[in-house]
Amino acid sequence: MLYLDNSATTKIHPEVLEAILPYLQEEYGNPSSKFYSLAENAKKAVATAREQVAQLLGCDPDEVVFTSGATESNNMIIKGVADYYSHKNNSSKYLLTSSAEHPSVIETVEFLGERGYKKKFLDVDTFARVNVQNVTETVTKIQPLLTSFMWGNNEIGSLNPISELSEFFEANNFFFHTDATQVIGKVPVNLRKHSGIRFLSMSAHKIGGPKGIGAAIIRKQSKEIFTRLTPLLHGGGQENNYRSGTLAVHNIVGLGKAAELASQNVENNAKRLAQLENYLVDILKGNFGDRIAFNSDIRDKIPGLISLQFIGVNNELLLKKLSNFMALSSGSACSSSKPSHVLSAAGKSLEEVRQTIRITLSADISTEELDLFREFK
Ligand code: PMP
């Protein structure tokens, strides 16, 4: 079967699997224990993984907090900042985000709205991106406690104007969080160059790592405000006190290895994905002409993610029909039962949403495999 749903998840990279296995077998020590070699080995493995993630993202190792994935990172950061600063006098009660974010951001902000916080969901353009001027005007007006905009969109692949946003948030000293889950390994990410990003979320299983592990990056430095947040999990004080609980060493090692590979391969990966995408788009255009319409902005996007409509064809029926030999998606794996809120926010009608499919490539697919599409007319 041709797997073309790599934004939903990826297969484990063989080197990641190899790195993980000893920590599910003989190296079973608890990294919080002391002195004996099993514990020290586990501790070293976790420290190495922390460095690998820090290297990938351009931050310090002690700014990396291991979580169960990006859903948890998003929840931890938004709820944690909201809670911590709610106890401070003169603190803003506003949370700012956009209507095209992942459900783990939108639902968290909605939840906090029910708990007395103020919330604002910015409109997005036809490619689900926020507008910098709109952001700066809104931030200046409502002075939010935290703003969260994703780096790249999981449904249509658009990239938000992260450099400009980062500059603005740094210059004005507001907290800015970005969900970078879909761009890691495909777009260069360097937090030292984007020091306006105070918080970042990522997940291992989108980059050839295991499921159930990710990271919340919590940057320390600031001109005026210290970064503080209430822990998501209270207990033994692991992960700088932000997330207690015995560390999942095997998963952390897997994330570390996947991060190392992603940082080594990001340029080649991006090039290869763009090449495969062009190859496939040419086939699709040749075969279907004006019976298809593309949802993504072709200039500035996550390479390898194609969101398109087959005019007049119901996406669910099409996916079912193809499911024996091809794995595709109607938008995202996270909210597949509801019509896409991202496409709706980008101005698509319900009819357009219902005829949209998402194809997400991986760099190891061959053009010969994509030739399968030539058979569909
Ligand atoms: N954010 C984005 C942009 C995503 O695409 C996903 C995964 N679909 C998540 C967050 C959630 O990641 P995880 O599966 O690690 O919880």
Note whether 59 and 171 are same-domain residues.
yes
Q: Which of 234, 261, 288 is the last residue of a domain?
A: 261
Q: Which of 237, 261, 285 is the last residue of a domain?
A: 261
Partner residues linked to 2 by β-bridges = 326
Note whether 105 and 33 are same-domain residues.
yes
Average pLDDT rounded to a whole number, residues 316-343? 83
Assign 334 a pLDDT band (cuts: 50, 70, 90).
low
Note whether 239 and 364 are same-domain residues.
no
Nearest partner of 97 among 165, 150, 159, judged by Cα: 150
Relative to the CA of 154, which ligand 1 atom is closest?
5
Note whether 63 and 114 are same-domain residues.
yes
Sequence-distant (6+) residues with CB within 8 A of 25 are: none
What is the extent of the structural domain holding 297?
Answer: 2-8+266-370
Assign 7 a pLDDT band (cuts: 50, 70, 90).
very high
Question: How far is the C-alpha of 292 from the C-alpha of 301, rounded, in Å?
Answer: 19
Is the model's pLDDT at 297 over the cut of 90? Answer: no
Residue with the larger pLDDT of the pair 371 and 338:
371
Check: CB of residue 208 under 8 Å from CB of residue 199.
no
Q: Which of 205, 231, 261 is the last residue of a domain?
A: 261
Residue 218 domain flag:
yes
Query: Model confidence over 103-153: pLDDT tens digits?
Result: 999 999 999 999 999 999 999 999 999 999 999 999 999 999 999 999 999
- Determine which helix (DSSP H) or strand (DSSP E) holds 76, and give its type and residue range: helix 70-86
Q: Domain containing 170 — which CATH number?
A: 3.40.640.10
Residue 149 domain flag:
yes
Ligand 1 atom 10, closest CA: 70
Quick check: is 334 catalytic? yes
What does pTM read for this prediction? 0.96
Mutation probe of ligand 1 site: the residue of 182, 255, 336 with most atoms within 8 A of C-beta: 182
Check: CB of residue 153 under 8 Å from CB of residue 305.
no
Residue 375 domain flag:
no
Note whether 191 and 318 are same-domain residues.
no
Is the model's pLDDT at 336 over the cut of 60? Answer: no
Note whether 303 and 209 are same-domain residues.
no
Query: How would you class 136 by CB atoms within 10 Å of its CB: exposed for 0-12, middle for 13-18, buried for 19 or more?
Result: middle
The mean of the pLDDT values for the chain is 94
Mutation probe of ligand 1 site: the residue of 104, 162, 251 with most atoms within 8 A of C-beta: 104
Assign 377 a pLDDT band (cuts: 50, 70, 90).
confident
Question: What's the pLDDT score for residue 226?
Answer: 72
> How many domains does one find in the chain?
2
Q: Domain containing 357 — which CATH number?
A: 3.90.1150.10
Note whether 335 and 187 are same-domain residues.
no
